[in-house]
Structure 1
């Protein structure tokens, strides 16, 4: 006797949704920080980003944070 109500199985690999979610969160953090801290120096922006990334649970290396701070400064200056 077969069970016609069996749950489907996953036979292939799952796509990792966390990478996409983290990328979207990172973009949101960068955009919001650019709006919140226009004209601020790199060290202030970087510290704010570090706090926001930590609070959101998104991993960011020192190099990532420095690059994101550069991007925030670029966006907030209208470049």
Structure 2
């Protein structure tokens, strides 16, 4: 559990925002991070053994509005599918 700080304006400290995050790390190659912020929710899932990565941002003001990506990497060629 922790706090992730970010800012869209590095010169203005009042522009700094925070996410409250929970981290689940069942083994060294697999982790999930779920964060809740003022305007968005952030979810990151990385499983290096399977070569799968997911990153999503949900907009709190608009129910069902989400953007992000999913990627699968071939463990032998290291190419993204």
TM-score (structure 1 length as normaliser): 0.26
Give 1 or 2: higher helix fraction: 1
Give 1 or 2: higher strand fraction: 2
Structure showing greater Rg: 1
TM-score (structure 2 length as normaliser): 0.25
